[in-house]
Amino acid sequence: MAYTSQRKAYGETLVALAKENRNIVVLDADLCGSTMGKLTELALPEQHVEMGIAEADMTSVAGGLSRVGKIPFTNSFAVFSAGRAYDQIRQSVAIGKLNVKICGSSAGASDFADGATHQSIDDIAYMRVIPNMSVFVPADSNEAVEVTKYMASHEGPMYIRLNRNDYENVTEEGAEFTLDPKVLRDGTDVVVFACGIMVGKALEAAEKLAGKISVKVVNVSTIKPLNKEMVCELAKGCKGVVTAEEHSVIGGLGGAIAEALCKECKPIEFVGVNDIFGSSAHSYADILEYLGLTTEHIASAVELIYNL
């Protein structure tokens, strides 16, 4: 049965992979209950390392592990595993192209209650700017399973960004993961490039506008390396482009798509966090509304482009 929790999908997939490959090592920084690293700790304690609340050390340690043949996965909330440890990712891991996998769990605003300190609205930007780094934002739990498998079986530093909360799948269960952007709904007027939870919301927006505006929805789960030619191809014939991400409008998916389309002269509308930090909220829906990350926000952006 398909998962509806990305972190559970990730955690259980890691256990399955680690059983098959004894070189897989899972590292946590005192949050393995949230990251689901605890599933490896319980099933395969000799392949799990608790590094304590020390993400910088954890990341460089992962670099060292990779140099003696291990395939380390570092787990924590994205603000810590990617943000706190940015320098170690850059210096210890990425320059040497080490085979280290970084999991940014509870990413975006998905840790709604904890507020701005725990909400990563900038990790896609600072991970994708690092040379040698691959950046994945799976649309749902089905894709999280497949991206995790991909990371374990391919060399190099890689970052996976996961949501804390449960939501329905929009991609097919068991579909083998490939790096190319994937068209989930075809359309001719406006193309929406989306990632993470915003893919499902983009599909809802497209459905809502059906009959009025023909909307193509593309799942961009690989932010880097981005197939730029394909992005241009997918935008061809459309009046304009919308990007949608649970991340700042600066430097993330929107930035990557705009860079890809820089010679195409298409209008682009960015749905994302408008250069502000998050806030505590009583529900995920409340913080997404506060940050402008809803189906309605995408639909409005599509209409704006269409009516230009």
Partner 1 sequence: MSYSKELLESLEAKAKLLRKDCMKCIGVGVAGHVGGSCSSADLVAALYFYKMKYDPKNPDWEGRDYFLLSKGHVAILQYSALAEAGFFPVEDLQHCKDVGFYLQGHPHLGTPGIEAGTGSLGQGLSLGLGMAIGLKMDDKPNNVYVLVGDGEQNEGQIWEAAMAAGAKKMDNLCAIIDNNGLQAMGKIKDRLDSGNLAEKWAAFGWNVIEIDGHNMEEIVKALDDADEYKGKPTAIIAHTVKGKGVSFAENQVGFHNAALTKEQYEQALAELS
Residues that bind partner 1 (CB under 8 A): 25, 46, 49, 51-52, 54, 56-57, 59-70, 72, 87-88, 91-92, 95-98
Residue 62 or residue 291: which is nearer to partner 1 going by CB? 62
Q: How far is the CB of 68 from partner 1 (least distance, A)?
A: 4
DSSP three-state, residue 298? helix
Phi, psi values for residue 113, rounded to 5° = -70, -35
Print burial letters for 152-166: b (CB count within 10 Å at least 16), e (below 16): beeeebbbbbbbbbe
Q: How far is the CB of 49 from partner 1 (least distance, A)?
A: 6
Residue 57 or residue 189: which is nearer to partner 1 going by CB? 57
Residue 92 or residue 171: which is nearer to partner 1 going by CB? 92
CA separation, residue 10 to residues 28, 89, 143, 270 (Å): 14, 21, 10, 29
Distance of CA 179 to the CA centre of its chain: 13
Q: How far is the CB of 55 from partner 1 (least distance, A)?
A: 9
Q: Taking a C-beta distance cutoff of 8 angstroms, is the pair 84, 56 a contact?
A: yes
Q: How far is the CB of 124 from partner 1 (least distance, A)?
A: 23
Q: How far is the CB of 38 from partner 1 (least distance, A)?
A: 19
Residue 62 or residue 235: which is nearer to partner 1 going by CB? 62
Q: How far is the CB of 256 from partner 1 (least distance, A)?
A: 27
Q: How far is the CB of 74 from partner 1 (least distance, A)?
A: 11
* Distance between CA atoms of residues 292 and 308, nearest Å: 21
CA separation, residue 223 to residues 55, 96, 158, 251 (Å): 24, 21, 11, 11
Residue 62 or residue 133: which is nearer to partner 1 going by CB? 62
Strand ranges inside 51-149, DSSP E: 71-77, 101-105, 134-136
Residue 88 or residue 142: which is nearer to partner 1 going by CB? 88
Residue 25 or residue 152: which is nearer to partner 1 going by CB? 25
Q: Angle of helix 141-153 relative to helix 6-20, nearest 10 degrees?
A: 30
* Distance between CA atoms of residues 159 and 169, nearest Å: 21
Token pair 């004894």 is at which residue?
A: 22
